[in-house]
A and B are shown apart, each in its own frame.
Chain A
Amino acid sequence: MNTEKVIFAFFIILAATLNFGFFLGEIHDVDHHNVFELFAALVISLIATVMKLGDRTHLGAVLLATSLVADLQLIVAALLWAYASNISEAGLTEELIASVVSMSGGALLANVISVVLLVVETITVRR
């Protein structure tokens, strides 16, 4: 058993589940999407990315790439949310919340790919 890989699996799956929780619900209904969940998803996704830094295997590099994609999407989502609630005069409109959720949806897709890769890697390990 490789402890490093197990911890990484924990973080990458946690990022996926949190993101899924945020994504779930009507796309333009603010009440269905919790900002704390978005925050948690972003933090966990960042940690998962950092854990793949300096991995010289091919699969490790691909995992780094997918979680970087998820980070980018989530950061954009968070920026949109911050813009909507602090800067925009109209506040959290339905359009803005919809784009925030769709960004997180994209991140969710990246997370799912990470999880699939992780599962593939785990299955190939014989011991």
Chain B
Amino acid sequence: MNYVAYLILRRLRAPLIALIVIYSVSILGYVLIPGVDDEGNLHHMNFFEAFYFVSFMGSTIGFGELPYEFTAPQRFWTLFCIYGTVVGWIYSIGAVIATLRDQTFINLIQRHRFRNRVENLKQPFYLVCGYGLTGSAVVADLSRRGIQSVVVELKQSRIDAMELDNLPFDIPSLCADASEPDVVKDAGVAMKNCIGTLCLTDNDHVNLYIALASKLLSPERMVLSRVATREYAGNLKSFGTDHVVDPFETFADYLTNAVFSPYRQLAYNWLISPQHRSLSSVVKPQKGRWIICGFGRLGQAIQKRFEQHGLETVIIEPDPEGRKLKDDYRVVKGLGTEATTLIEAGIHNAVGIIAGTADDANNLSIVLTARELKKSLMIVARQNHHHNVDVFKAANINMIMDPNMIIAQRIMVLIKTPLLMRFLEEIKQHDEDWCEKLVCHFDVLVRDHPLDSWSIRIDRETTPAIYETLRFGVPVKIQNLSTHPQSRGVQLPAMALMVMRAGEVHLLPEQDFCLRIGDEILFCGQSRVLNQMLWTVCNTNVLRYVISGQDEASGYLWQRFFKKKDQSKDIGGSA
């Protein structure tokens, strides 16, 4: 139902009735009051004349007195009517304008427009709830990849900021509380082309509501939620939320991997983040004593992992009793911002320090004090607020933990291609040497360019050329795909990471790996390669050239002509 129209009509009742009453009383007055015609005879206006006169008097005073010059009683009545109709119009117009400017009314219109726009979306889209730093990073990245999104955000100021973000798409956005199921429904969660719901608000409870509503309204839809506390993480997983991203746990994993298997971590880093670090920057294993400043969510997550790996840790915490630390931990009471505390924690024998408090100023202070005391320390710092990004960059820290970027990157991996997530799982099975070789490959491929990854599926819709060629029994190899579509001798800067065939994984396939229909191939390389590769997989002529090296005729006449020539050649050859 159209709520807006009903609301307008309802609000218009009083002004319309006022106008009707004023007009009818005025008309009645003119009909009743006697006048004289131009010959001095008694003349009563009829309703037609009265209605005509009142109509033009109300809007434009000054047409003159019709049909005859008025008598004094008629003029007296006209005075009343002039003020009556003018007041009536002012009131009515005022009421209409007040309705149009009313906030509830504007909200209703915006809501209505938003619903219409979402309903008219034809292409697949993601529903993004929360347009904070994470949300805006994800939406920008999605748009860059040509994926539409729909945004629901509680604060109007962030919605306004979106207009300035200069996104390539027109993104439907609504300022509303996404924890109301109505809002999520209007945002298209039950629509067929909604690929997934991303709950990115900074309130766990709201995220829980959105995830619940999304799962209830359409159970098979992918739901991803960020989460800050363990209780909510368990709660979200309990009803089948597909991906729960906890920035603290994720970063703790990341750091642990960086310490114990740096090359695997580097491979991981290159694949998920476009701004990867160079090969030379690989973090050398730093096994020894680590100082953890702040035993909050991050400190606990890291401590748990380091303890499992048997690494020595010292905790600096201003409130050890409140955090319920175990007795066998080595704890120093304090903030870590002063040299005495750090020395007491044994900074001179330590290899690394983690500034993991919830206060950015304290974290920076810890970093600077620690570096004063020991130059060669590996420094990890937690950055709580995004606006401090420049200060943290300037502090020359080995690893910075920015929760918003961690969540955004994680989501992009999931959204890019599901194969990448599988590949990242696979490389956990392999040792450091294997990973080092992989990273060296990457380095040769992309040098300073961002490393992109994409997947190609062999089927009729997405790769018609390969599909046709395979059906004719001509083998297509992986190397054909990574050949330059214009000059066969040139290899494109890309490599196949994995082939998925009927649920089975073939890691790092050889160049002469023969493809079959239904295979899914994960590639990585420079992002411009994807466009060139699409030529080969979609255009049969290009694929033929790449396989055989010949530019075959494609038109009917040319085909006939060349076939005859070829046949005669064949006959000549055999004879």
Contacts and interface: CB of A to CB of B under 8 A. Distances in A.
A54 B7 contact: yes
Pick the 3 closest A-B CB pairs, nearest first: A54-B10, A54-B9, A82-B48
Contact of B13 (A54, A82, A86): A54
Nearest to B6: A54
B13 A53 contact: yes
Contact of B16 (A35, A50, A55): A50
14 contacts: A35-B46, A35-B47, A39-B27, A39-B31, A43-B24, A50-B16, A50-B20, A53-B16, A54-B9, A54-B10, A54-B11, A82-B46, A82-B47, A82-B48
Interface of A is mostly: helix
B1 interface: yes
Interface of A: 35-36, 39, 43, 46-47, 50-51, 53-56, 78, 81-82, 85-86
Contact of B28 (A39, A54, A55, A81): A39
Interface in B11-45: 11-13, 16-17, 20-21, 24, 27-28, 31
A101 B390 CA distance: 85
Contact of B20 (A36, A47, A85): A47
Contacts of A81: 47
A47 B13 CA distance: 9
B49 interface: yes
Nearest to B24: A43
B373 interface: no
Contact of B17 (A47, A54, A78): A47
| Secondary structure type dominating chain B contacts | helix
Nearest to A39: B47
B8 interface: yes
B14 to A, nearest CB: 9
Given A53-B13, A54-B11, A86-B46, 17 more contacts: A39-B27, A39-B28, A43-B20, A43-B21, A46-B20, A50-B13, A50-B17, A53-B16, A54-B5, A54-B6, A54-B9, A54-B12, A55-B6, A78-B47, A81-B47, A82-B46, A86-B49
A86 B48 contact: yes
A53 B47 contact: no
Contacts of A46: 20
Nearest to A4: B13
B465 to A, nearest CB: 57
Nearest to B47: A39
Contacts, number: 52
B104 to A, nearest CB: 14
Contacts of A43: 20-21, 24
Contact of A56 (B6, B13, B20, B31): B6
B194 to A, nearest CB: 29
B8 A54 contact: yes
Nearest to A64: B9
A123 B17 CA distance: 28
Interface string B324-355: 00000000000000000000000000000000
Contacts of A51: 13, 17
Contacts of A86: 46, 48-49
Interface in B449-508: none
A54 B20 CA distance: 18
Interface in B503-540: none
A10 to B, nearest CB: 13
Contacts of A36: 28, 31
Contacts of A82: 46-48, 51
A50 B47 CA distance: 22
Interface string B143-171: 00000000000000000000000000000
Contacts of A53: 9-10, 12-13, 16
Nearest to B49: A86
B48 to A, nearest CB: 4
B141 to A, nearest CB: 43
Contacts of A85: 46, 48
B12 to A, nearest CB: 6
Highest count of chain B CB atoms <10 Å: which of A39, A50, A81, A86: A50
Nearest to A53: B9
B47 A56 contact: no
Contacts of A39: 24, 27-28, 31, 47
A81 B48 CA distance: 9
Contacts of B8: 54
B32 to A, nearest CB: 9
A56 B1 contact: yes
Interface in B32-72: 46-49, 51
Nearest to A51: B13
Contacts of B5: 54
Contact of A47 (B12, B21, B27, B46): B21
B35 to A, nearest CB: 16
A35 to B, nearest CB: 6
A39 B23 CA distance: 12
A39 B24 CA distance: 8
A41 B201 CA distance: 59
Contacts of A56: 1, 6
B45 to A, nearest CB: 11
A53 B48 CA distance: 27
